[in-house]
Structure 1
Amino acid sequence: MSLPETILQFGAGNFLRAFADLFIAEANRGDDPPGKIVVVQSTGIERAEAINRAGGRYHVAVRGVQDGEVVDETVVVDSISRALHAGTQWDEVLAFASTLELRWILSNTTEAGFTLDDADAVRGDDAPVSFPAKLLAVLLARYEAGQAGVIVLPCELIENNAARLLELVKQQAARWSVEDAALAWITDECRWLNNLVDRIVPGTPRLHYLLAEDPLLIAAEPFAFWAIEDPRGCGFEHPAITATDDISSYYLRKVRILNGAHSALVCRALPLGIETVREAVEHPEVGPWLEKLLFTEIVPVLEGRCEDPAGFARATLDRFRNPFFEHRLSAIALNHDAKVAVRLQPTLADYRERFGREPELLSDVLSGVAVVAGGS
């Protein structure tokens, strides 16, 4: 069965391809298929070209330990219809945005994507520079075509990500003097869903029987969790999706513990020449340092604010020890400053407020952030 293109996705990176795109591929095999994805790549063109050469088809190697059992399976992902390059195919992006079938807009532009750019002061015919301006241009094209609102699902790891993205879109709309009716349509007719994503996707596996034939092959851990802050859900179903009226405690626990530990390892282990997360947690000095950081400085500020932070920290260390993965710290180090501001700095402030003293390990490692970030 040929499915319609219903999803516009900003970002062609590994995470979305092993997370939302995989879920959508699996949902498409069910009784209520959501449809196909059109991917937009803004940085470079190579990934978009590779996706198109492959006909939107690639594999995800799901590997790790889950519920005490070793998981090692390879899943076909065929949810992508085509990929477009924003810099050279913006007209095609706007044309798809204006179609009747479009229902969802996904994104993962990292924390760095949630900014405006002075280059977008005036609305033009070419692709805007910033992601919020691109999104606004897409929504305006849809509004001007007289189409229905869409569901906006930003998968960036930012608290209240949809609400913050909507605020940036409104700020950009003010720059462009967007009419009130259009702004009301964007705000009220589109559903902006705060959400939380959680899955470790380290990139291309080092060893796999498909390496030679699938340049888009990526690895992912078995664990996957997608919390949607709306009891109605996001419009399609998958076992990894949890719909709830409040995701704040899930966000707090995941960002402060799992992602905080990742960024702390970039600060501490990468300057030592340690290349992967698993090497770091197995290192005779860095491994114990990370455990101490988690259980004496990060977990204590989360007690009473989320469910079982200590248990989640123990599970996180097990996920970091995944024997199949070579999760490179250099990949985690991308946009390091922005990540540290979300993942570690708030824990530092919370610790000071809660205990009235400096967290020794966190204070020490953050003092060198500028040096690490300068080389990323």
Structure 2
Amino acid sequence: MSEPTPILQFGTSRFLQAHADLFFHEAATPRTVTVVQTTGDPSRAGRLAALADPRGYPVRIRGLSDGQVVDREIRVTSVRRTLSTATDWPALCRLAASETQAILSNTGDRGYQPQPADDAPAFDQAMSFPAKLYHLLAHRQAAGGAPLSIFPMELVPENGAVLRARVMQIARAQRAPDALCDWLQACVWVNSLVDRIVSEPLQPAGAVAEPYALWAIQAGPGVALPCDHPAVQLVPDLDEIERLKLHILNLGHTVLADRWLAAGADPARLVRQMMAGPDRAALDRICADEVLPGFAARGRGPQARAYLAVTLDRFANPFLDHRLADIAQNHPEKVARRIGAFLDWVGPDGHAMPELSAIARKAAS
């Protein structure tokens, strides 16, 4: 019999391995996790097995912190079990109905997009993550399980509220009973923001990451931190943190990715290499002439300047092999969310942003 795991995690990414799963391992009171693969990709069977290896998987933390070199490795042992929605749905339902206390997810940039199978009356592997979650929660409610906390970690503004709205939309389409709808509303849908550059996978599991890490969780009724760790913080409002990360760090990555694509998309090109060449000057110009004035127009100039200084140092981290090919995945969607949304936030009466506007128009065409 496997050890009970209070955390049920949807997603197997290297980000989660070097972020939440590492925090659960390092917490003052360690938490244990069951990791669920949602894609059903059989080629990742080796990763699933390695994640739950009792010896743990490696996470290498490399970079600079307060001017000091950090270069250490941790063997993460928080993952005790792995399942796949494609092959283990009955076992997953039993687990969710009994020992699960909290659910977290990081299902990628397209994880919330509706799929045709979402309309099916019973679970189907072709469903989107919110539809799979709906059927799993419905099973828990029918089995008499209590409402629980749900921590989406996708890079979507107000991700908890967005996921709840999509699950409730599915519930209404399925004509769910009032008791189930009330139960779903009683779950705690947590808005959160995550920040850590995880640059390189290790095989068969593990990752290389920078020292900087943040999991900011918005306070609200019933919200409790999933673990006691310095990088996991309860904050009154995510907006300021979210804007800084999305429109400086993420925007900066996407600007570099756009230039990388225009230059021929060398698959071996790294962020730190671009920061050591002429692309650094272009990024500095866009930040100085467009990004910082945009934040200043919204009354957040000092915060943006401080965050930008830290961000540029993170980009130039000499230890991290952060590939532009990874950043450029789903490039049009990232441009819309990171650059287009920044232009909308500043508004047409704000500071002129010709270079960012050009990137947004090109991606949308």
TM-score, scaled to structure 2? 0.91
Partner of 2:214 in structure 1?
Answer: 225
> Structure 1 residue 102: deviation in Å?
0.6
CA deviation vs aligned residue, 1:294-328 (integer Å, no higher than 9, x gap): 12111221222476101111111100011111101
> Structure 1 residue 353: deviation in Å?
2.0
CA contact (8 A) 2:123 2:135 kept: no
Partner of 1:124 in structure 2?
Answer: 122
CA contact (8 A) 2:107 2:129 kept: yes
From the superposition, tell whether residues 352 and 245 of structure 1 become closer, same or farther in structure 2 (CA, over 3 Å).
closer
* Correspondence for 1:167 among 161, 165, 168: 165
> Structure 1 residue 43: deviation in Å?
4.8
Partner of 1:331 in structure 2?
Answer: 326
Provide the rounded CA distance (Å) in 2 between the counterparts of 1:164 and 1:154.
Answer: 9
Provide the rounded CA distance (Å) in 1 between the counterparts of 2:40 and 2:332.
Answer: 19
CA contact (8 A) 1:252 1:306 kept: no
Provide the rounded CA distance (Å) in 1 between the counterparts of 2:362 and 2:270.
Answer: 19
CA contact (8 A) 2:115 2:128 kept: yes
CA deviation vs aligned residue, 1:17-48 (integer Å, no higher than 9, x gap): 11000001112xx3x33333333332513334
From the superposition, tell whether residues 50 and 85 of structure 1 become closer, same or farther in structure 2 (CA, over 3 Å).
same
From the superposition, tell whether residues 84 and 73 of structure 1 become closer, same or farther in structure 2 (CA, over 3 Å).
same
Aligned pairs (5 A) from 1:34-45: 34-45=31-42
CA contact (8 A) 1:267 1:366 kept: no
Partner of 1:86 in structure 2?
Answer: 85
- Runs of at least 5 residues in structure 1 that lack an aligned partner in the other structure: 206-213, 372-376
Aligned pairs (5 A) from 1:55-134: 55-56=52-53, 57-99=56-98, 101-134=99-132
- Identity fraction in percent: 37
* Correspondence for 1:271 among 245, 255, 262: 262
> Structure 1 residue 244: deviation in Å?
1.6
Does residue 1:368 correspond to 2:357, yes or no?
A: no
> Structure 1 residue 236: deviation in Å?
2.0
* Correspondence for 2:276 among 267, 272, 282: 282
* Correspondence for 1:184 among 182, 185, 191: 182
Deviates more, 1:191-200 or 1:339-348: 339-348
From the superposition, tell whether residues 174 and 249 of structure 1 become closer, same or farther in structure 2 (CA, over 3 Å).
same
Letter in 1 for 2:24: I
Provide the rounded CA distance (Å) in 1 between the counterparts of 2:255 and 2:139.
Answer: 42
CA contact (8 A) 2:117 2:124 kept: no
CA deviation vs aligned residue, 1:96-129 (integer Å, no higher than 9, x gap): 1111x21111111123112212222122243351
Provide the rounded CA distance (Å) in 1 between the counterparts of 2:201 and 2:30.
Answer: 28
SS at match of 1:197: strand
Partner of 1:374 in structure 2?
Answer: none
From the superposition, tell whether residues 219 and 53 of structure 1 become closer, same or farther in structure 2 (CA, over 3 Å).
closer
Letter in 1 for 2:61: V
Partner of 1:250 in structure 2?
Answer: 241
* Correspondence for 1:308 among 294, 303, 306: 303
CA contact (8 A) 1:63 1:219 kept: yes
Provide the rounded CA distance (Å) in 2 between the counterparts of 1:125 and 1:36.
Answer: 23
Partner of 1:211 in structure 2?
Answer: none
Provide the rounded CA distance (Å) in 2 between the counterparts of 1:193 and 1:352.
Answer: 29
- Runs of at least 5 residues in structure 2 that lack an aligned partner in the other structure: none
SS at match of 1:355: coil
Provide the rounded CA distance (Å) in 2 between the counterparts of 1:307 and 1:177.
Answer: 50
Deviates more, 1:216-225 or 1:332-341: 332-341
CA RMSD, aligned part only?
2.0
Letter in 2 for 1:344: I
Letter in 1 for 2:47: A
From the superposition, tell whether residues 307 and 90 of structure 1 become closer, same or farther in structure 2 (CA, over 3 Å).
farther
- Count of matched residue positions in the alignment of Structure 1 and Structure 2: 355
Does residue 1:25 correspond to 2:25, yes or no?
A: yes
CA deviation vs aligned residue, 1:41-72 (integer Å, no higher than 9, x gap): 32513334423246342110000001000000
CA contact (8 A) 2:38 2:129 kept: no
Letter in 1 for 2:292: V
Partner of 1:210 in structure 2?
Answer: none
> Structure 1 residue 92: deviation in Å?
1.8
Letter in 2 for 1:255: L
Partner of 1:198 in structure 2?
Answer: 195
SS at match of 1:88: coil
TM-score, scaled to structure 1? 0.89
From the superposition, tell whether residues 49 and 38 of structure 1 become closer, same or farther in structure 2 (CA, over 3 Å).
same
CA contact (8 A) 2:97 2:143 kept: yes
SS at match of 1:112: coil
> Structure 1 residue 352: deviation in Å?
4.9
